Structure 1
Amino acid sequence: MPPAKKPDPNAPVENPIINLLDREPEPLFSDVLLPSPYAPTRSSATDVASGLQEGALYLMAKLTADAKPLYDGLIWRIYSETTNTDGRLQLVATHKGGDAEFRLEPGSYLIHTAYGYAQSTNRIMIGKEVQSKMVTLNAGGIKFGATLKDGQTIDGKPVSFDVYGLEFDERGERDLIVSNVTPGSIVRLNADTYHVVSRYGDVNAVVRADVQVLPGKLTEATIFHKAAGITLKLVNERGGEAIANTTWSVLSPGGDVVVEATGAFPDFVLAAGEYEALARNNGRTYLHTFEVTPGEDREVEVVTSVSELSSQQATINN
């Protein structure tokens, strides 16, 4: 068959593919076309006196330009651009819920809109007329989850998530946006990429990941932890009773202290790897090397008997 003709680069393209990142940005603060000159029939503003010499402002918000307006979960704050005696912007009015109506004296104001941790600030000039504005938050959300090996969900255990911005400040630290988020929770955020830190327990089981939030989308971020719960016991013989008043140190292979505790049954969540348990009791010190396998919670016994310690030493030497 003869070769096909080369396409004409100047020919019109049918159904072109539009890259959303190449589109012109949607206005984040725009007029609202309402069926009547002033849609609200109720007054929801707080701490604002109504009067004939004031302007009327009706506000709505949505996640994206193509989304429906939000009818719950919003917090509106109106600030005057004049500062108070403390040098801060003066809070004029607030409203919680969905759409909001305010009556304001003529002047310049800042409108702060919050939906969870997603937020937007816009400036507006108020006269004696009626204005209706739509705030496009350009926001989405993250739903957090954590698993162990084989997809085993970590339920009912001490797992938490912290969300940071990507940029570092002058001290080399990221801006903390929200902390101690529990698995299954949904956090609303502006569309962006975030640094997520997940902690399983309070020691060294920490996983970090960068997660992207898309406008109008719910991103499910499931963190895979390679860790397990370990309970330490100092015993006179295998399977014996734990000895009280014991001081513990868990060391890394390099000899660094990972965690310390006191008691008969200290328990920790440790990242997978090899450790050495050092137990001190009644003036004596006992050592035992153990390994943490992901997802396998277990007890680690440190035995005080001479025969057991000799057996351990012989195994190490071989």
Structure 2
Amino acid sequence: MQNPTTLLNRIKDTRAKVQRFVMTALCAVLISALPGTAQAQTNAPMPPAMKPDPNAPSAASQEPIQNLLDREPEPLFSDNTLVPYAPASGSIQGTAEGLDGGALYLMAKLTRDSQPLNDNLIWRIYSETTNADGRLQLIATSKGGDAEFRLDPGAYMIHTSYGYAQATNRIVIGKEVLSKMVTLNAGGIKFDATLPDGAPLESGPVTFDIYSREFDQRGERDLIASSVKPGSIIRLNADTYHIVSRYGDANAEIRADIQVLPGKLTEATIFHKAADITLKLVNERGGEAIANTTWSVLSPGGDVVVEATGAFPDFVLAAGEYEAVARNNGRTYLHTFTVEPGADREVEVVSSISELVSGSSRAN
């Protein structure tokens, strides 16, 4: 059995050894954190890397750097459709040179849901400041489909036309790239004319005039397009228009209000109740026409419908009853006749008194 004093001394020695071990370990950790030690560890050779697994799936590619011209465009003028930026295909005139201004890329379509238009567009860029004549100053133009303009920083008016359809928008541009879509909200109308029996009037003297439906302060309609031929397609903003169709130059005229829908082609067929009438002054029925004759065609109320001079005056007249007045060599000859729809014919006015008496009861 050990002496208690000896046992106590041995316990104290063991405790001192444990404390020295702990202090040595702490010093080793602190030394490894010093800069010199870290640099030494960094310079130590790295273990060889593992070979890649050929069957492992490939990593997703990184997003490429986005070009400024390919950036997400701003909302358009008329709706919220986005358009990509691309070089303009139309010819550009009057654009600002240099890199000190902004770039404006424009596209247009008929409706929100239609495809962009590729041709027949006319773009005009106006400054908001007026010139000496009090008009907006034209800055640049472009024809075709999409258009690109280089503009100095400032405010501009953009006028877009597609046939008779048009839109005007205002834009403020700085030293930036803008991409805009113009929605015209437009459609088209195609005109045709026929006789009541369905016979088309393709080669005849038929024209169409397009007016606005509303009257101005003078009580007149604004003329939008004139002398439109049958078969023509006219592009217009979506609205209701007043159409006047004329067959010939006299009184064969039909009026109608026609609605143009956005993105649609409206086909309008006008039925003319009229006929082509040729007048002749003759000494006897079936005889030769007398030259140097002055003609007047009167309505039943006595109003002058049309006048002409010659041996064979030709008129397109609306269906109805008329009186022909022929003047030749100081004498006046009268004859009443009727026009039937689609019945083109010659009307003879006889100068012989005997013929007039014998033929007064016959319809000519």
TM-score clears 0.5: yes
Distance between the aligned counterparts of 2:299 and 2:346, measured in 1?
18
2:82 corresponds in structure 1 to 32
The correspondence for 1:270, drawn from 317, 324, 329, is: 317
Which residue of structure 2 lines up, in the alignment, with residue 252 of structure 1? 299
Paired residues of 1:31 and 1:132 also in contact (CA < 8 A) = no
2:192 to 145, 159, 163: 145
Q: Distance in 2 between matches of 1:68 and 1:114?
A: 16
Matched, 1:129 2:176: yes
Q: Secondary structure at the match of 1:172?
A: coil
Mapped to 2, the partners of 1:192 and 1:314 lie a distance apart of 53
Q: What is the deviation of 1:53?
A: 1.4
SS at match of 1:151: coil
Q: How does 1:188-203 map to 2 (within 5 A)?
A: 188-203=235-250
Q: Deviations over 1:36-56 (max 9, x none)?
A: xx4227784311232221111
* Unaligned residue ranges in structure 1 (runs of 5+): 1-25
- Give the counterpart letter for 1:106 in structure 2: P
Percent identity at matched positions?
Answer: 76
State the alpha-carbon separation in 1 of the partners of residues 278 and 128 from structure 2: 58
Show the 5 A alignment for 1:15-164.
28=78, 30=80, 32-34=82-84, 38-40=85-87, 44-164=91-211
One of 243, 246, 255 as aligned partner of 2:290 = 243
Aligned residue pairs total 288
AA aligned to 2:132 is: T
Q: What pairs up with 1:213-232 in 2 under 5 angstroms?
A: 213-232=260-279
Structure having the larger proportion of residues in helix:
2
Whichever structure has more strand as a proportion of its residues is: 1
Three-state SS of the structure 2 residue aligned to 1:243 is coil
Pair 1:292–1:315, CA change in 2 (3 A): closer
Superposed displacement of residue 260, structure 1: 1.1
TM-score, normalised via structure 1 length: 0.87
Q: Which letter does structure 2 place at the counterpart of 1:248?
A: W
Deviation at 1:29, TM superposition (A): 5.3
SS in structure 1 opposite 2:92?
A: coil
Residue number among 329, 334, 357 corresponding to 1:282 in the alignment = 329
Residue 4 of structure 1 is matched in structure 2 by none
Letter in 2 for 1:227: A
Tell me: CA distance 1:288–1:31, structure 2 relative to 1, closer, same or farther (3 Å).
same
> Gaps (5+ residues) in structure 2?
1-75
Q: CA deviation at 1:284?
A: 1.5
Q: Whole-Å Cα distance in 1 between the matches of residues 170 and 89 of structure 2?
A: 24
The structure with the largest alpha-carbon Rg is 2
Matched position secondary structure for 1:308:
helix
For residues 162 and 203 of structure 1, what CA distance do their matches in structure 2 show? 15
Query: Structure 1 residue 31: deviation in Å?
Result: 5.9
Paired with 2:190 and 2:342, the residues of 1 have a C-alpha distance of 23
Q: CA RMSD in A?
A: 1.7
Are residues 1:179 and 2:229 paired? Answer: no
Q: Kindly indicate whether residue 339 of structure 2 is the aligned counterpart of residue 292 of structure 1.
A: yes
Letter in 2 for 1:32: L
- Which residue identity is paired with 1:125? V
Deviation at 1:157? 1.1
Higher relative CO (Cα under 8 Å, sequence separation at least 6) belongs to 1
* SS of 2:268 mapped into structure 1: strand
Question: Contact 1:43–1:102 at 8 Å: present in 2 too?
Answer: no
